[in-house]
Amino acid sequence: MKLYSLLLFFSQAAVVLYGLYIELAPADFPKNLPPGMGLSLALIGATMSLVLLYAEREREQRQKQMDDGALFRQISNGLSACLTVHEREFYAIWPEQVRRATNNVDITHLGLLPPRVKNSPAESDYFSDLKKIYKSSRATIRRVERYSSGKKDWINKLAKEFEGVANVSLAVYQDPFDTPMPAAMSVCRIDDRYAWLIAVAEHESTGNVRDLMLTGKESVDLVRRYFQERLWSNGIVVLDRGKLCVDWEKRLKP
């Protein structure tokens, strides 16, 4: 009970006691009210005290409900959903997410070889319409490609294709492992709404589920930080918002 409520309660209790004193005290005790008024005063004070107690109880219950709601909102911000996705399903979902993005899109492809367009019409459409899809998005798009001798032509093709496209940047990442599965993980992100873990167990497409789609603000932000700190910051920029960095190959590690 808050301090002002306590003061009001005690003042009403004092009124009740004073009213009882007027009615019950011996006749020779000093009294400031005529007989009969003390009982009315005590009843009024008791009624006001009960009303005050009821109002305070209601206030505490509302406050508890508000606290529970705030706690739920705090917890819900940390909740995430995870959906397992096959590669063919990824290429059906991802292009539309890129088109609808409004702020930031992060993309990685960390395979040793260029993408092999062989698994579904959706995959074929995605890579054939890559420039159109990126240009149609209102988001700033950053793409990281794992560098290898087998992907050099593919990377140069991307740089040429997106040169002059102001919302697209491209960087290459040199992985310390010379194996199909890199040390880093391929991740993708759409604004603060969706994040993807790509090729979690394998890069070459099989009949197995390969990717994970995550939702939840904190999970997506964690993927954003991973992309920024582990991949983009350690990469070599090839294309900076549509502007070609002509000396990027000179900065490659031997």
Query: What was the pLDDT predicted at 32?
Result: 65
Query: What was the pLDDT predicted at 160?
Result: 96
The whole-angstrom separation of Cα 163 and Cα 9 is 76
Output the CA–CA distances (angstroms, integers) from residue 97 to 76, 122, 195, in the order listed: 23, 14, 11
Residue 240 forms beta bridges with which residues?
243
Tell me the average confidence (pLDDT) per consecutive run of 10 residues in the chain, 254 residues long. 60 64 63 61 67 73 67 68 88 95 96 80 90 97 96 96 97 90 92 93 73 92 96 97 95 89
Residue range 81-251 in CATH 3.30.870.10 = yes
The number of angstroms, rounded, from the C-alpha of 249 to the middle of its chain's C-alpha atoms is 36
Residue ranges with strand state E in the chain: 81-85, 104-109, 140-146, 168-173, 186-190, 194-198, 211-215, 236-240, 243-244
Query: What was the pLDDT predicted at 20?
Result: 64
Asked whether 160 and 239 are in contact (CB, 8 A), the reply is no
- Which residues have a Cβ under 8 Å from the Cβ of 25 and sit 6 or more positions away? 31
3-state class (DSSP) for residue 137: coil
The whole-angstrom separation of Cα 190 and Cα 102 is 9
Domain spans, the chain? 3-78, 81-251
The sign of the dihedral angle between the CA atoms of 215, 168, 113, 223 is negative
Query: What was the pLDDT predicted at 72?
Result: 63
Q: What angle do CA 251, 249, 107 make, to 5 degrees?
A: 95
Residue 146 forms beta bridges with which residues?
173
The count of other CB atoms within 10 Å of the CB of residue 36 is: 10
Structure tokens that stand for 6 in this block: 């306590």
The answer for 199, left when phi > 0, alpha when psi is -120 to 50, beta otherwise, is left
